[in-house]
Amino acid sequence: NTVGTPLWQANLNPATTRLLYGTAVTNTGNIDTTYATGQNFDKLDSYGGALTAEWTLDPHFTLRSITGWRRLHWTPGLDADGSPINFFELSFAEGQHQISEEVQLVGDLFDSKLKLVAGLYYFNEGGYIHDYVTFGGGLLQVDGPNTLDTTSYAGYLHLDYKLTDAIGLTLGGRESSDRKTFTGGQQDLNGFFQRLIGGCYAGYPATPTPACQQVLANAGFGFTNPNNPYQVYPLGENHQNFTEFTPTVGIQYHFDPSLMVYADYAKGFKTGGWTTRLTAPLPPGSPAQAFGPETDQTYELGLKSEWLDRQLIVNAAAFYSLYDGIQLTYQISTSPVTQNAGNATIKGLELQTQSRLGEHFSLNGNLGYMDAYYTSINAAAASFTGHELPKTPRLKVSISPDAHTTIASGSTLRLAVDY
């Protein structure tokens, strides 16, 4: 090779001619320091603006406009192995810009029996990410320029209707439409995996011979870009379109002004995308590895109440969710791949209290229980089946006492603890 270091000479310890390894070269004994000798920087420029405007059309209707704009540029670099070995170095350049516009019509009709919000929403995002990762002093060099664009449209209507003094109804729906494009340019600048499997590259930047290409094709390797045998991501711009209707419906029953029970159903979705990193070229003609949306349908029963002349507030809820098409990222060979890998069920209980204990004290507390587990999973991620979802603790508890008083200047002195 003229690029990179031969594997048997990479990062040798001159005294022993062995690869440096072990806690002596990776663990300093201080969590704030490492033995890393490579790049170490992080620069982020981020700015944006927002504008909200309202017009009162008449006593019953208000028109509202919400506009947002943002732009960022990020450049980090990291010696990811954390050791003096020149083994795992990575750097990125990322840029993103977005604009959104939402127009709302807010209504209050029939002596406040009917309250509504209707809206139209527009969102556009564009950007790029260029990652550059080297392994083994340049033995493997992954260069990944990628660009993306997303345009989203939505229309929605939400109604709250007071059927009687005791019964309230909620109806709502949102139609969302996403248009997404992605162009991936990831390439293996040193042809490492092609050389490793095919063993027939004459040297960078030589193009593999037909015989070599056949060897690689038999091993499942293709050449996605005829002008660049080192590109591993499928050539061309990829497109995905998603349209989803997400309804909500609910009913509330007020026993009196201080006690209400309710039942709700709602559906939500998260848009799809593409796996953007591959280790080796796909067979010729293969599409980019896409994944679709994930959806969640949640049923909830709850209670909201006030006691002791509003000195005590108690809210409780029980919920049950069907979580389908979960987007999971897991390893296939040496590539992180994202797919709609399975389904899950989530069940839980929540209790929230707020209390005032006299003039100078208050006490708030929350208790949450959640049982969240995968019910099905595809073969590649089968080890997840029956396991709990990540980042879903079974039990959560918080308590917050507060003491406060008014001092001579008229200010308030407050002492609080949160656990």
Lowest mean pLDDT across 244-248, 249-253, 338-342, 343-347? 338-342
In this prediction, residue 140 carries a pLDDT of 81
Question: Tokens 């732009």 map to which residue?
Answer: 71
Q: What burial class does residue 265 get, using C-beta atoms within 10 Å of its C-beta: 0-12 exposed, 13-18 middle, 19+ buried?
A: middle
For 28-33, what is the mean pLDDT? 82
The dihedral formed by the CA atoms of 26, 27, 28 and 31, expressed in degrees to the nearest 10: 120
Q: Take residue 16 and report the two structure tokens written for it.
A: 């022993």
pLDDT at 208: 64
pTM, 2 dp: 0.80
Instruction: Please indicate whether residue 388 or residue 150 has the higher confidence score (pLDDT).
Output: 150
For residue 96, pLDDT beyond 70 = yes
The predicted pLDDT at position 411 comes to: 93
* Residue 165 φ/ψ, nearest 5 degrees: -60, -25
Q: pLDDT > 70: what percent of the chain?
A: 81
216 Cβ contact partners less than 8 Å away, ≥ 6 residues apart: 194, 197, 198, 208, 222, 223
| 202: confidence class by pLDDT, cuts 50, 70, 90 | very low
Q: Which residues of 336-367 are buried (b: 16+ CB within 10 A; e: fewer)?
A: ebbbbbbbbebebebebebebeeeeebebeee
Least confident of 52-56, 160-164, 174-178, 355-359: 355-359
CA 6/CA 175 separation, integer angstroms:
56
Is the pLDDT at 205 greater than 60? The verdict is no
Confidence of residue 281 (pLDDT cuts 50, 70, 90): low
Q: Is the pLDDT of residue 158 over 70?
A: yes
Residue 205: asked if its preceding bond is cis (omega within 30°), the reply is: yes
Residue 7 has pLDDT above 50, yes or no: no
Percent of residues, the chain, with pLDDT higher than 90: 57
Q: Is residue 201 predicted with pLDDT exceeding 60?
A: no
Residue range 242-267: mean pLDDT, rounded: 97
Note the pLDDT of residue 44: 97
Give the position of tokens 């995968």.
374
Alpha-carbon distances of 127 from 30, 233, 323, rounded to whole Å: 38, 18, 30
What average pLDDT does this structure show over 203-213? 62
pLDDT tens-place string over residues 112-138: 999 999 999 999 999 999 988 888 777
pLDDT at 98: 98
Confidence at 334, pLDDT banded by 50, 70, 90: low
The pLDDT value recorded for residue 383 is 59
